[in-house]
Structure 1
Amino acid sequence: MTPDSRRLFAALDATWPPARLITDGPWTLREGRGGGKRVSAATANIPVTETDIATAEAGMTTLGQQPLFMIRQQDADLDHWLDAREYSVVDPVVMYLFPVAALADPQPMTAIVPTWPMLAIQRDLWQMAGIGPSRIAVMERAAGPRCALLARHKDTPAGVAFVAADGAIAMIHALEVVPSERRSGVARRAMKAASQWAADNGAEWLALAVTRANEGANALYRGLGMTEAATYHYRLAPGVGP
């Protein structure tokens, strides 16, 4: 059975986990510790009222975080209320899904090297792409099967990605290709290797989340046959930079 959006968001939390998940009334709060919006945004567990917003704002302030909400397709009322409070829309995201059997393809070790723990060169490549220690810590918190992929092109480190499994769903995160190696097939080979790793670890589906603004990545995923399975965006408190 194809996973629904609720199952996809659960896999997102499992494979790219915050430092803490906190239930506060109708809300789930995430303690991000500098790991980015995905691990810092609040979400509604049940339909909320406008007066419930203050509870989430207070909880995030207590965590030392700026108020930030993840708005999914079922959160239209919350989106409207936050808009009225001048919360800005940040990073509209699309989540893609694909059966791993349709993409899995063993890649030669000369092209893709799967490792865990991650190697120093992988940390360096992520650092060059702006993915520093706080996001590396997110990867290291993932409790299920996980893997760091090192992509090579012409015997040169060319890219890196993180993939982790939550039952039948594996998610790929932080796929980065060295600028000089883009359009050389590195990302496509990494996706095939991630699907193969997912199949080898019992997953049936490969999923990922990417901003709509990343036109190149969206074109790649659609070209691989991945389909849009869910969307979300963030609402950031007024006066706070993205």
Structure 2
Amino acid sequence: MEFLAGGRAEVRITRADVGKRVSVRRRTGGAAGEAAFTDAVGVLTSWDEGVLSITRRTGECVRIAESSLVAAKVVPAAPARRKVPAATVRELQQVAARGWPAIETERLGEWTLRASGGFTRRANSVLPLGDPGLPLDAALERIVQWYGARGLPPVIVVATGRAGDDEELAAELDRRGWTAERHTRILISALAPLADTATDTPPGSTGDAPTRVTLSREPGAEWLALYNRTGGSGAPSTEAMTVLTGGPSVWFATVRGADGGTAAIGRLVVDGRWAGFAAIEVAPAERRQGLATLVTAALAQRALDEGASAAYLQVEADNADALALYDRLGFTDHHGYHYRRARPAGES
């Protein structure tokens, strides 16, 4: 990789370049047989107290001491892909889990037990990727005990509707009386076209899209007031805040209305090539002005700037309005999932 400028290496990045794609070389040698320098390319996600954090396209975060820098420069982002990405069910399950991380996890073979004080089913359910390492009945008994000790209902995520799903597991759970609930669709899209929709404001919308949407790393009080899982119920729990702000690179979008109130919000998590969208909500009095589209576009541009190329989101299968919006934006159906909940003890 070429760092030379005018015949010598230079560090040509500053803290003002946080959020840009950079290429850096750092000094790592010293021991016999050790490479003198190591290179890294990715998004400069922070530069605090003498340490740079660079997030690679894979989602890996590399921390680099400022004192070890030998050369660095901003590099152009890779050309945005516009085709709907190819992905397996397992890949999307893993990406979605990292983007909405549980506070407490425990492995059961290749399954992961997750708990977060009851904040959302996604962060309080078993993710079954492969073999639990035990006969199914023994694994289910362990799951019931684990969740019971935390005062939570035993719940397992079951993927459906595509090769590599959990159809066999669903049948086994059905035979054992684990009830199905909360059917959800996983939608995907190329990322670049979503950013383009910033210019497609419908009749009646006002303001300039890029300047109306404010992005931040933390959800402020205005954002939380509109978020339907915490709004109107006082300060959010520690568990809710931990899950909301967890993930490789998380952003929160807020749009202010003409009256100064919160008109719309959204959440983004960037993880390698994937950008996950969630909590796209518009205040009732501000609907039908294209604000959900503006929020999605602003977040999509942020994800493109960090090197992502594909988008995903999760929406409940009976949310017709949201499904219609995402269809207009160009999302396509990938697969579905639902939750299986153990029948309470003593219930026939």
Q: Same fold (TM over 0.5)?
A: yes
Q: Secondary structure at the match of 1:37?
A: coil
Contact 1:19 1:141 in 2 (8 A): no
Contact 1:18 1:32 in 2 (8 A): yes
**More RCO (CA 8 Å, sep 6+):** 1
Q: Which structure: larger Rg?
A: 2
Change (3 A) 1:108 1:26: closer
Number of aligned pairs?
Answer: 239
Counterpart position of 2:251: 147
Match of 1:190 among 295, 298, 304: 295
After superposing the two structures, state which structure 1 stretch, 83-92 or 126-135, moved more. Answer: 126-135
| Pairwise CA distance, 1:103 | 1.4
The 2-side partners of 1:194 and 1:237 are apart by: 37
Change (3 A) 1:228 1:50: same
| Pairwise CA distance, 1:41 | 0.9
The amino acid that maps onto 2:252 is A
User: CA-to-partner distance for each residue in 1:73-114, whole Å, 9 max, x for gaps?
Assistant: 321222122222332211111011111111114664542111
Counterpart position of 1:66: 153
The 2-side partners of 1:26 and 1:132 are apart by: 32
Match of 1:228 among 333, 338, 342: 333
Q: Secondary structure at the match of 1:103?
A: helix
| Pairwise CA distance, 1:155 | 5.6
The 2-side partners of 1:177 and 1:150 are apart by: 10
The 2-side partners of 1:12 and 1:210 are apart by: 12
Contact 1:26 1:44 in 2 (8 A): yes
The amino acid that maps onto 1:152 is R
Q: What RMSD over aligned residues (CA atoms) do the two structures have, in Å?
A: 2.2
User: CA-to-partner distance for each residue in 1:42-81, whole Å, 9 max, x for gaps?
Assistant: 1223246532322322232234321101001321222122
TM-score by length of 2: 0.63
Contact 1:153 1:186 in 2 (8 A): no
Unaligned runs of 5+ in 2: 1-84, 199-207
Match of 2:106 among 16, 19, 22: 22
Greater helix fraction, Structure 1 or Structure 2? 1
The 2-side partners of 1:172 and 1:189 are apart by: 13
The 2-side partners of 1:77 and 1:138 are apart by: 30
Change (3 A) 1:112 1:203: same
Counterpart position of 1:103: 194
Match of 1:56 among 143, 154, 161: 143
The amino acid that maps onto 1:114 is L
Q: Secondary structure at the match of 1:128?
A: coil
Unaligned runs of 5+ in 1: none
The 1-side partners of 2:259 and 2:213 are apart by: 11
Identical aligned pairs, as a percentage? Answer: 26
